[in-house]
Amino acid sequence: MNIGEKLYELRKEKNLSQEEVAEKLNVTRQTVSKWETNQSTPDFDKILPLCELFEIGPEELLTGKKPEENTKEEIQEERIPTKEEIRRKSAEVVSSSVLIYILAVAFFIVAVAFLWLDPIIVTAIFLGVVGFATARLIRHYMSIPKFEKTKEEVEEAEIIKQINGIVGAICTIIYFLVSFTTMAWHITWIIFIIDGLICQIVKLFFMLKEEKIDEE
């Protein structure tokens, strides 16, 4: 629908004549007629008065699209998810990423230690899979809107931080002990991947615990 047809339709809805519209906008009847027949378009300074007269927004006047005609997808996109929805989504992303990490580590160990495949190729595949899982986690957490944390959430985050710090320290000690003992520096770095895996499992545990409490 063009602007002329829209103006004609709106005038009819208001039961106004062209003379009445012209009088309210301080223009001639011929000007209104030209607008409705698309022989000319309203000047910029007449847009807002037209919108006020017909009680519509500028977008509806110029495009013919009403605000309530937004598609279901647009409405869904604009809606901010709740904390519960974000928690469930986070649990899903973290759990699937943890599974990918576990499969990647298992593949690396089996391929190198038992199948004797080329370590360079195995490492490339391993890093690719781990990178994919990590990218999923980063993308998810970057898309989460910021909410003000409750006291319980702050305490939970601090506990997770402390646990991850302890796990990181233990894994570092194990890394050096195993590396100096076996001199297999080209393989022992996988311990740090396992460290990251454990950290994600800890985070997933608290997510599932929180969700269980909410359900109760």
Point out the domain boundary residue: 73, 94, 120.
73
State whether 157 and 108 are in the same domain: yes
State whether 24 and 97 are in the same domain: no
State whether 47 and 138 are in the same domain: no
- pLDDT in tens for each of the 216 residues of the chain? 678 888 888 889 889 999 999 998 889 999 999 988 988 888 878 888 888 888 888 777 777 666 554 444 444 455 567 777 787 888 888 889 889 988 988 898 888 778 888 888 988 998 899 899 889 888 888 887 776 777 877 888 888 889 889 989 999 999 999 899 988 877 788 888 888 888 888 888 887 777 665 555
Residue 179 and residue 185: Cα distance in Å, rounded?
Answer: 6
Residue range of the domain that includes 35: 3-73
Q: Give the pLDDT confidence score for residue 177 in this predicted structure.
A: 92
Amino acid at 59: E
Whether residue 192 contacts residue 213, with contact meaning beta carbons closer than 8 Å, is answered with no
State whether 65 and 91 are in the same domain: no
Residue 82 and residue 106: Cα distance in Å, rounded?
Answer: 36
Helix axes 44-54, 18-25, angle to 10 degrees: 120
State whether 92 and 45 are in the same domain: no
Residue 12 and residue 79: Cα distance in Å, rounded?
Answer: 36
Helix axes 29-36, 18-25, angle to 10 degrees: 110
CB atoms within 10 A of CB 128: 11
Q: Give the pLDDT confidence score for residue 75 in this predicted structure.
A: 44
State whether 63 and 95 are in the same domain: no
Tally of domains within the chain: 2
Secondary structure (DSSP) of 69-112: G--HHHHHHHSPPPHHHHHHHHHHHHHHHHHHHHHHHHHHHIII
Instruction: Return the structure tokens found at 159.
Output: 């506990």
Residue 148 and residue 144: Cα distance in Å, rounded?
Answer: 12
State whether 7 and 97 are in the same domain: no
State whether 184 and 158 are in the same domain: yes
First-residue to last-residue Cα distance in the chain: 54
State whether 88 and 159 are in the same domain: yes
Point out the domain boundary residue: 24, 47, 73.
73
Point out the domain boundary residue: 30, 48, 73.
73
